[in-house]
Structure 1
Amino acid sequence: MSAGGQDAYQNVAVTAGDGLTLNVRVYGTPVRGRLPLLCLAGLSRNSADFDMLARALSAERQVFAPDYRGRGLSGRDPNWQNYALPVELQDLLAATTALGIEKAVFVGTSRGGILTMLMTAARPGLIGGAVLNDIGPVIDGTGLARIKSYLGKLPEPASWDEAVALLKSINSSRFPALSEDDWRRHAAAIWNERGGRLEVAFDPALAKTLEGLTFDAGMPTLWPQFDGLAEVPTMVIRGENSDILSAGTVSAMTERRPDLDVLTVAGQGHAPLLMDEVSIGRIAAFARRCDPR
């Protein structure tokens, strides 16, 4: 089982500053007058999450989807403490430089959205537009506690049917809108099949990054980082059933940014999969508004 035929993209290897090999999926070729899309996944996720979105949009603009270190096809770091936002931000800068990306429309899911906001301080000129997928300046600790409870602890499924059943047992209450095909595509982005076994597509040591987290005092907010996007078109996508991004936070974001493009995805939680026609269509339209006039 796979997320789709590999004829639609190339896996390109780039080198991080410390020598680790990072993988980037590249869909399509540069299109004059169109900014490329740069798709950044969640904490334990990878480039396969964006396969349907990338295939749909690559006819009109090039799409890049990197795997963070320790995820997807990128190299695993012997020091799990390097699975950290400052290191991943430097990796992203190295990858965009190696690939010749001068400006892009960022699509950041969860952790990818945090990296997008952090980029406003590191290299603001790289951001031609920003889509924050189920993430904002205030992060709900309820969702993080849920992720911490199962990250790196899932049993190894014996088959793809078992993998789908496992995902449903964890997420079906928050994702009632998903079809059977959606669940199977979702599973294909989480596990890799090697030697007849299904293995999670991330370094299990990644779970150690959450071990010391407690949520009693609340999470630090990211309002200055969000305000760093003030000069570029910005869109926020929220899953109707999200336990990471609250409706109240989205309202507070729109108060600061009245021009904020807001999409609520019905029947999905954290984070919307960006596989449905409405989400793909809205992102496509948003990206066109970001293109140079």
Structure 2
Amino acid sequence: MVMRQKSFLGLSPAGFHNIAYTEWGDPTASRTIVCCHGLTRNGRDFDALATRLAKHARVICPDIVGRGRSDWLRDAAHYAYPQYCADMNALIARLDISELDWVGTSMGGLIGMTLAAQVGTPIRRLVVNDVGPFVPKTALLRISDYVGLDNRFSSLKAVETHLRKVLAPFGPLTDAQWQHLVAHGHRQRSDGTFGLAYDPAIAINVKMAVQDWDLWPVWDRINVPTLVLRGAESDLLLPQTAEEMTQRGPRAKLVTWPGMGHAPALMAPDQIGLIEEWLTAN
């Protein structure tokens, strides 16, 4: 499957910034699927999923600003959902489409929820991976403990050891899958050491917002078919929240996977197959 790396310009109050994305599949396909990653990750997390979905649609996997190959913002105060949503709106305009499906993990799921809740949303179907309209303070405390640390690693093996620890809730992954996360989840510094592929300053607003998040008014405005995925041991999408998501708003379909927490990596064949089947049902 041919992969194309592209970019476009986003705009913050501090000026323009470059946003990278990966495109898979036929660029003239009648359907488009956007896959949006979690807080510290990047669009290459979706390579396996995108390869499968590209049989049916053009698949777009952006690096949210401050992550992956995208620029870092000049003013870290703008690492927030209004900026992320504005950038994704610019991406939709760039793609010249009036309708799309959205697959979002954690932060990417919250961006998708926000866009889907808007009047006249172009989102046709929504997949939300291990996040919901209630985010508990305890989960945000855990995340704030490691996000934003300006880690320096002596080797890629040390990067892998770190990622295997902090991303253990992703679930059981093969050695090749861990190596894929490392390959696209690191940056080499000028002194020869390695860091993670995101701006540590993305943590500033996260640490300032460590409290329970109540986003039920957003959820209740969503009126598109929605699939919610959850790791059975997730501390971010609690079981009672997930169950209530099936009763309110879009009355989502819920699938829970055992043996993983926040958030399922969406790399396993059964996970990919489920998403493919649901998105292509009609």
Task: Determine helix, strand or coil for the equivalent of 1:38.
Answer: strand
The separation in 2 between residues aligned to 1:270 and 1:129, in whole angstroms, is 22
Task: Determine helix, strand or coil for the equivalent of 1:256.
Answer: coil
The separation in 2 between residues aligned to 1:123 and 1:88, in whole angstroms, is 18
**How far 1:234 sits from its partner (Å)?**
0.4
**How far 1:154 sits from its partner (Å)?**
5.7
**How far 1:77 sits from its partner (Å)?**
1.0
Is 1:179–2:171 an aligned residue pair? no
Match of 2:240 in 1: 248
Match of 2:9 in 1: 15
The separation in 2 between residues aligned to 1:243 and 1:151, in whole angstroms, is 16
In structure 2, what residue type is equivalent to 1:115? I
**How far 1:182 sits from its partner (Å)?**
2.7
Alpha carbons of structure 1 residues 158 and 208: separation in structure 2 relative to 1, 3 Å: same
The separation in 1 between residues aligned to 2:232 and 2:160, in whole angstroms, is 22
Contact 1:177 1:266 in 2 (8 A): no
The separation in 1 between residues aligned to 2:250 and 2:215, in whole angstroms, is 18
Is 1:288–2:280 an aligned residue pair? yes
Count of aligned positions: 278
The separation in 1 between residues aligned to 2:250 and 2:113, in whole angstroms, is 18
Deviating runs (4+, > 6 A) in structure 1? none
Match of 1:72 in 2: 68
Alpha carbons of structure 1 residues 186 and 208: separation in structure 2 relative to 1, 3 Å: same
Contact 1:48 1:189 in 2 (8 A): yes
CA deviations on 1:88-146 (whole Å, 9 max, x unpaired) are 11111111101213211100111111111111344643101000000111112222111
In structure 1, what residue type is equivalent to 2:129? N
Q: 1:222 aligns with which of 205, 208, 215?
A: 215
Task: Determine helix, strand or coil for the equivalent of 1:117.
Answer: helix
Sequence identity of aligned pairs in percent? 32
Task: Determine helix, strand or coil for the equivalent of 2:247.
Answer: helix
**How far 1:167 sits from its partner (Å)?**
2.2
CA deviations on 1:61-87 (whole Å, 9 max, x unpaired) are 110011111111111111001111011
Alpha carbons of structure 1 residues 143 and 186: separation in structure 2 relative to 1, 3 Å: farther
The separation in 2 between residues aligned to 1:31 and 1:285, in whole angstroms, is 22
In structure 2, what residue type is equivalent to 1:11? Q
**How far 1:42 sits from its partner (Å)?**
1.2
- Unpaired stretches in structure 1, ≥5 consecutive residues: 1-6
RMSD: 2.1
**How far 1:224 sits from its partner (Å)?**
2.0
Match of 1:4 in 2: none
Q: 2:199 aligns with which of 186, 190, 203?
A: 203
The separation in 2 between residues aligned to 1:269 and 1:60, in whole angstroms, is 29
Alpha carbons of structure 1 residues 113 and 212: separation in structure 2 relative to 1, 3 Å: same
Match of 1:234 in 2: 226
**How far 1:270 sits from its partner (Å)?**
0.9
More strand by share: 2
Is 1:28–2:28 an aligned residue pair? no
| Deviation larger for 253-262 or 132-141 | 253-262
Match of 2:108 in 1: 112
Contact 1:117 1:228 in 2 (8 A): no
The separation in 1 between residues aligned to 2:151 and 2:72, in whole angstroms, is 21
Larger RCO, structures 1/2 (Cα 8 Å, 6+ apart): 1
Match of 2:187 in 1: 192
Match of 1:265 in 2: 257
Task: Determine helix, strand or coil for the equivalent of 2:57.
Answer: coil
Alpha carbons of structure 1 residues 258 and 229: separation in structure 2 relative to 1, 3 Å: closer
